[in-house]
């Protein structure tokens, strides 16, 4: 299978590396507007010679590039978020169905081995607590911190809660850019689960915390290190157990799943509809934050 990576920036280079290593896959082209990064500058030049494409361009270009690929019958793996607006996301989902091609969204944390083990063990989450902080980078600054960073944990919370958001309470602030750089949200799901999520792209230290609580147990996850710590109470005694899930490469697992969805018709873990679901939640949170900023400055 011939595949093109469109966008040779930070994530595009990683995608190219993973797909180049997959058996039965030929990395036919790497495309970027910057001639210093790639030999092909216009992605339309390769659409007639590839069966699949990975789209790793800035978010505001996702719809334009993905739509052109889908319209030519090219299977698409698009980086998160699926698009900038719900209208754009709906257009891509509808077009993929019409052309009968795979549309997968790059919510790569779903392929984290530790997270997948956590999902199997947690059947009735009551409370989800996540914090994702990083230093400022110009990459990704074309969108707010909710679409840039928090959207990872929004996707994980939705997949764990197995329910739709019923109520939101959010706040956020502009710090180094003209858009939201810090945000926090409380999500109350229809089934009673609650999630508190915080994200910042102006932190001096990188932090990633993810905890899930359910009756009888809670788990603290270090998704970067692939470690899970379970805490239980038995006959008045607190018991702690740890699990390690080493050797995981979530980006490589995502790449393999994309190819298997195309060649073996295997289910897509995060398809266009699922990507649209997460985008709607992220946009709703962003709207609430901006409304609050308008009131309080």
Cis amide bond preceding 81, omega within 30: yes
Q: Tens digit of pLDDT per residue, the chain (297 long)?
A: 999 999 999 999 999 999 999 999 999 999 999 988 998 999 999 999 999 999 999 999 999 999 999 999 999 999 999 999 999 999 999 999 999 999 999 999 999 999 999 999 999 999 999 999 998 876 657 789 999 999 999 999 999 999 999 999 999 999 988 899 999 999 999 999 999 999 999 998 888 899 999 999 999 999 888 999 999 988 889 999 999 998 789 999 999 999 999 999 999 999 999 999 999 999 999 999 999 999 986
- Between CA 138 and CA 152 the distance in angstroms is 18
Give the pLDDT score at 297. 66
Domain ranges, ordered by start, for the chain? 2-101, 110-247+281-296
Give the pLDDT score at 247. 75
Give the pLDDT score at 235. 82
Give the pLDDT score at 139. 64
Domain 110-247+281-296 has CATH 3.30.360.10: yes
Which homologous superfamily does the CATH classification assign to the domain defined by 2-101?
A: NAD(P)-binding Rossmann-like Domain (3.40.50.720)
The answer to whether the CB of 184 falls within 8 A of the CB of 198 is yes
Handedness of CA 131, 157, 77, 225 (dihedral sign): positive
Give the pLDDT score at 165. 97
Give the global pTM.
0.94
Residues 6+ apart with CB under 8 A from 12: 5, 6, 30, 32, 54, 56
Give the pLDDT score at 101. 98
Give the pLDDT score at 215. 93
The answer to whether the CB of 202 falls within 8 A of the CB of 144 is no
Residues 6+ apart with CB under 8 A from 83: 59, 62, 63, 66, 89, 92, 279
């Amino acid at each position: 299978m011939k595949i093109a990576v469109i966008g040779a920036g930070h994530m595009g280079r990683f995608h190219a590396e993973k797909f180049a290593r997959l058996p039965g896959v030929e990395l036919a082209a790497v495309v970027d507007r910057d001639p210093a990064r790639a030999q092909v500058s216009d992605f339309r030049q390769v659409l007639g010679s590839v069966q699949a494409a990975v789209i790793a361009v800035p978010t505001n270009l996702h719809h334009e590039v993905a739509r052109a690929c889908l319209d030519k019958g090219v299977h698409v793996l698009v980086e998160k978020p699926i698009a900038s607006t719900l209208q754009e996301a709906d257009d891509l989902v509808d077009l993929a169905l019409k052309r009968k091609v795979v549309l997968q969204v790059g919510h790569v944390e779903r392929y984290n081995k530790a997270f997948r083990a956590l999902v199997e063990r947690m059947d009735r989450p009551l409370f989800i607590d996540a914090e994702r902080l990083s230093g400022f980078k110009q990459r990704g600054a074309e969108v707010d911190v909710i679409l840039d960073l928090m959207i990872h944990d929004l996707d994980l919370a939705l997949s764990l809660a197995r329910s739709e958001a019923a109520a939101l309470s959010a706040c956020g602030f502009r710090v180094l850019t003209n858009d939201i750089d810090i945000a926090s949200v409380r999500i109350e799901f229809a089934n009673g689960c609650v999630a508190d999520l915080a994200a910042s792209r102006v932190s001096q230290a990188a932090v990633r915390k993810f905890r899930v609580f359910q009756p009888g147990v809670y788990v603290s996850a270090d998704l970067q290190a692939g470690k899970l710590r379970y805490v239980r109470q038995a006959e008045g005694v607190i018991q702690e157990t740890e699990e390690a899930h080493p050797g995981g490469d979530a980006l490589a697992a995502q790449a393999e799943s994309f190819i298997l969805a195309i060649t073996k018709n295997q289910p897509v873990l995060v398809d266009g509809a699922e990507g649209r679901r997460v985008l709607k939640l992220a946009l709703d949170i962003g709207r609430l934050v901006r409304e609050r900023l308008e009131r309080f400055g």
